[in-house]
């Protein structure tokens, strides 16, 4: 059975609409420091696969404020924990910077290879080129897991929007300050959020591909 490896139950709730059989595995894989979500998710998927021993997906997501050079981007979790969502909203609005987007990369690994499709495959050997020098140091000194260089398939989704004063009780994370088409993601039901969101788009691509792979 497919395992969704995450410490965030909100992600699993959103995935249930797309994946018939999926179980949540609460495992905190290493999140390397990198400027792109893809290598972070790919590295996490390898470690999650080594932990679970069967097919896994992990999901790395972030809020990118366009006029703040994409801040907080791959550092969104750290910034949420340290500054907090409301403060990020205040900072962005102080700068007059309202345009933003959310991105999500779903990384799938089952230890096997992949036939070519439009979605990219991270083959591990690219890791050294994708990471900055500090990131390579982090990756190469991690001796807790040997997940090797098994291929990982990546599915990306994004949604444009703007930063607003917090509204709504639903969703999680930065949802209350992110407005798309007049509503914050926190004002939407899970189905409504999925229909427009970064994760919904990535999950739709993954769900279709995964169904074909397992038939």
Please identify every residue annotated as catalytic.
60
- Please give, one letter per residue, the 3-state secondary structure of 89-118: HHHHHHCCCCEEEEEEEEEEECCCCCCCCC
Among candidate residues 77, 69, 83, the one with its CA nearest the CA of residue 32 = 77
Give the C-alpha separation, 119 to 116, whole Å: 8
Interacting residues with ligand ITT between 180 and 209 (CB under 6 A)? 185, 197, 199
Among candidate residues 62, 110, 113, the one with its CA nearest the CA of residue 88 = 62
Q: From the list 7, 82, 211, 214, which residue makes contact with ligand ITT (rule: CB under 6 A)?
A: 7
Tell me the window of 92-100, 124-132, 134-142, 168-176 that interacts with ligand ITT (CB under 6 A). 168-176
In angstroms, what is the minimal distance from the CB of 187 to ligand ITT? 13
Interacting residues with ligand ITT between 67 and 106 (CB under 6 A)? 76-77, 80
Q: Which two tokens stand for residue 102?
A: 């959310």
Q: Which two tokens stand for residue 212?
A: 């074909």
Pattern 125-164, binding to ligand ITT, x per CB under 6 A? ----------------------------------------
Give the C-alpha separation, 56 to 42, whole Å: 11
Q: From the list 57, 61, 107, 109, which residue makes contact with ligand ITT (rule: CB under 6 A)?
A: 61
Tell me the window of 55-63, 113-121, 128-136, 142-150 that interacts with ligand ITT (CB under 6 A). 55-63
Tell me the window of 46-54, 138-146, 167-175, 205-213 that interacts with ligand ITT (CB under 6 A). 167-175
Query: DSSP secondary-structure letter at 144?
Result: S
Q: Which residue has the tokens 């991690």?
A: 142
Q: From the list 156, 175, 179, 187, which residue makes contact with ligand ITT (rule: CB under 6 A)?
A: 175
Residue 39 has a CB neighbour count (10 Å cut-off) of: 26
Burial of 26 (0-12, 13-18, 19+ CB in 10 A): exposed
In the complex, the residues that contact ligand ITT under the rule CB under 6 A are 6-8, 11, 59-62, 76-77, 80, 171-175, 185, 197, 199
């Amino acid at each position: 059975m497919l395992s969704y490896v995450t410490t965030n139950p909100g992600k699993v709730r959103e995935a249930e609409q797309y994946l018939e059989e999926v179980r949540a595995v609460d495992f905190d894989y290493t999140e390397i420091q990198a400027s792109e979500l893809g290598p972070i998710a790919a590295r996490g998927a390898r470690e999650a696969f080594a932990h679970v021993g069967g097919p896994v997906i992990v999901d790395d997501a972030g809020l990118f404020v366009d006029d703040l050079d994409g801040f907080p981007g791959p550092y969104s979790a750290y910034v949420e924990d340290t500054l907090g969502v409301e403060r990020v909203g205040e900072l962005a609005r102080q700068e007059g910077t309202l345009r933003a987007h959310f991105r999500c990369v779903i990384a799938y690994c089952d230890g096997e290879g992949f036939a070519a499709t439009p979605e990219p495959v991270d083959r591990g050997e690219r890791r050294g080129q994708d990471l900055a020098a500090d990131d390579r140091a982090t990756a190469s000194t991690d001796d807790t897991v040997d997940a090797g260089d098994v291929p990982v398939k990546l599915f990306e989704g994004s949604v444009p929007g703007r930063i607003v004063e917090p509204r709504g009780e639903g969703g999680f994370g930065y949802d209350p300050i992110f407005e798309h088409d007049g509503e914050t993601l926190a004002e939407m039901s899970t189905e409504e959020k999925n229909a427009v969101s970064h994760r919904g788009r990535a999950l739709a691509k993954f769900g279709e591909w995964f169904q074909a792979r397992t038939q």
